[in-house]
Amino acid sequence: MKLTVLVDNNTEIDRYFYGEPGVSYLIETEGKKILFDVGYSDIFIKNANKMGETLLDLDYVVLSHGHNDHTWGLSYLNELYSKQNRNFEKNKTPILIAHKDIFLPKEFWGENIGTNLTEEELKINFNMELNEETAFITEKLAFLGEISRENNFENKVL
């Protein structure tokens, strides 16, 4: 398995990659190319390009949860795929795996902290697999689905 950090809070000194308070990882395993989360912005695409990685041959896009620091980059990835499709260049159609409630509104102090695209907007460029159950992406790699909150210190939505 190869894991490449495309975005996190830190950058390697003197390498001039961008960082932000979000995450995005490129995972290559068992012949599959998986993008895990997409950060806040297009920085994951810029860093991937600088590393010589293309994101137009993804097999999967996996979203850990629906907060903006993990999903707002979707608008840039969606545009990247739309642009290629407008140019009649054939790309893979990645499968987007996420919890079935990922597109529900999320707010903090009246501000949107949820995803910035709808399921309908993403269906144009991605095959959607939205569920709450464990789903195997490869023989050895799984999307865990919903993880219940069972401890008294966890914030619970009523």
DSSP H helices in the chain: 43-50, 68-71, 74-86, 119-122
Alpha carbons within 13 angstroms on the beta-carbon side of residue 67 total 7
Helices (H) and strands (E) in the chain, counts: 4, 10
Q: What is the model's pLDDT at position 127?
A: 96
Q: What is the model's pLDDT at position 14?
A: 66
Residue 27 lies in a domain: no
Q: What is the model's pLDDT at position 92?
A: 82
**Is residue 157 scored above 60 in pLDDT?**
no
Mean pLDDT of 73-83: 94
**Is residue 85 scored above 80 in pLDDT?**
no
Structural domain span for residue 100: 54-143
Q: Considering the entire predicted model, what is its pTM?
A: 0.88
Q: What is the model's pLDDT at position 144?
A: 83
Mean pLDDT of 20-41: 95
How many folded domains does the chain comprise? 1
**For 110, which DSSP code?**
T
